[in-house]
Amino acid sequence: MDPADFYSGIVVDAYAGLKASRFDAEPYIEFVRTHGEPALEVGCGDGEPLLDLCAAGLDADGVDSSLDMVLRCRENAVARGVAPRVVHQRVEDLAIGRRYASIYLAGPTFTLLPDDETAARALRAIRTHLTDDGAALVPLWVPGPTPTDDLGVTRASVDRAGVELRYTPLTETYDRERRTRTTSCRYERVAGGETEVADREWVIHWHAPGAFRSMCDVAGLEVVHMVDDDTGGPPTDASVGFTVLVRRAAPTSGG
Ligand SMILES: C[S@@+](CC[C@H](N)C(=O)[O-])C[C@H]1O[C@@H](n2cnc3c(N)ncnc32)[C@H](O)[C@@H]1O
């Protein structure tokens, strides 16, 4: 299965049911209030935090590669009484026909892009969709290997309808050279005595701060700042999470 289709089928239910915490929408609301509207949330999933931004009165659209997530997001939007435009596209192929003063990813969704080539295409597409003075916010994550003790251990939750959702990481390949962690995992949905199973490969492809800056340069994006999520200072090669703010780079005199 293509990594862009990971969040489909029962994984959509499992993701909603097993999410560790709700997104705090406030940092994204503040980002959009600072940099302007309209806004685009890339990888909006089932609408967190996109729908909170809409409920706060902001003009925000969403885009996601999973049709199941897009449909769920539209349903959730109706239930919340908001009406964002939610587009089914991959960020690396983005062609929305609208430019945005603010583009953001809520959490490290960018690391779901499985290789440098896809990541570079995504950055170019983000650049194309930014207004001339717009800004994009890209949170990044450098994962360690999943602790061996966690492999084979199931996390489960039961939803309001009594449906049990389970997630079990089974095996993992951690490739430092390719900066890729691939976890084979099993999702299960147990309802009415029947168990539905989906086996997936969860691929995380990470970027070191310096390499990400170079990738932005090549994509025509200027890094305004990079902040380590833990220290609040500049990220280093030891950073586990850092957030990057970019803008369109000024055209060079040679064109
Ligand atoms: C970790 S989820 C976060 C979703 C959302 N913030 C939420 O909690 O509801 C990441 C989302 O990114 C989407 N995604 C993955 N690869 C993508 C791609 N290439 N282009 C656009 N969206 C992508 C997935 O389908 C998924 O909905």
**Identity of the residue numbered 122:** A
What average pLDDT does this structure show over 40-59?
A: 97
Give the pLDDT band (50/70/90) at residue 233: very high
- CB of 183 within 6 A of ligand 1: the answer is no
- CB of 90 within 6 A of ligand 1: the answer is yes
Q: What's the per-residue H, E or C state across 169-189?
A: EEEEEEECCCCEEEEEEEEEE
**Residues 104, 137: Cα–Cα separation, whole Å:** 5
- CB of 130 within 6 A of ligand 1: the answer is no
- CB of 109 within 6 A of ligand 1: the answer is yes
What average pLDDT does this structure show over 143-170?
A: 93
Residue nearest to atom 3 of ligand 1 (CA): 45
What's the pLDDT score for residue 51?
A: 97
Contact between residue 114 and residue 204 where contact means Cβ atoms under 8 Å apart: no
Beta strands, E only, 51-163: 60-64, 86-88, 100-105, 130-141, 155-158
Class of residue 241 by CB neighbours under 10 A (exposed 0-12, middle 13-18, buried 19+): middle
What's the pLDDT score for residue 160?
A: 81
- CB of 43 within 6 A of ligand 1: the answer is yes
Mutate which of 22, 50, 53, 69 to test ligand 1's pocket (most atoms within 8 Å of Cβ)? 69
- CB of 188 within 6 A of ligand 1: the answer is no
> What is the per-residue pLDDT across 188-230, written as a single tens digit (0 to 9) for each?
999 988 999 999 999 999 999 999 999 999 999 999 999 999 9
**Residues 233, 149: Cα–Cα separation, whole Å:** 32
What is the residue-averaged pLDDT of the chain? 95
**What angle do the packed helices 67-80 and 10-18 form, to 10 degrees?**
50
Whole-number Å distance, alpha carbon 47 to ligand 1 midpoint, is 10
Q: How many CA atoms lie within 13 A of 191 on its CB side?
A: 13
Longest dimension (CA), the chain: 67
Give the pLDDT band (50/70/90) at residue 14: confident
What's the pLDDT score for residue 65?
A: 97
CATH number listed for the domain at residues 3-143+206-248: 3.40.50.150
Give the C-alpha distances (Å, rounded to integers) separating 185 from 61, 80, 170, 198, 209. 31, 32, 5, 8, 29
Residue nearest to atom 16 of ligand 1 (CA): 4
> What is the per-residue pLDDT across 68-97, written as a single tens digit (0 to 9) for each?
999 999 999 999 999 999 999 999 999 999
- CB of 212 within 6 A of ligand 1: the answer is no
**Residues 189, 242: Cα–Cα separation, whole Å:** 34
Whole-number Å distance, alpha carbon 155 to ligand 1 midpoint, is 21
Residue nearest to atom 15 of ligand 1 (CA): 4
pLDDT at 178 over 90: yes
pLDDT at 108 over 80: yes
- CB of 7 within 6 A of ligand 1: the answer is yes
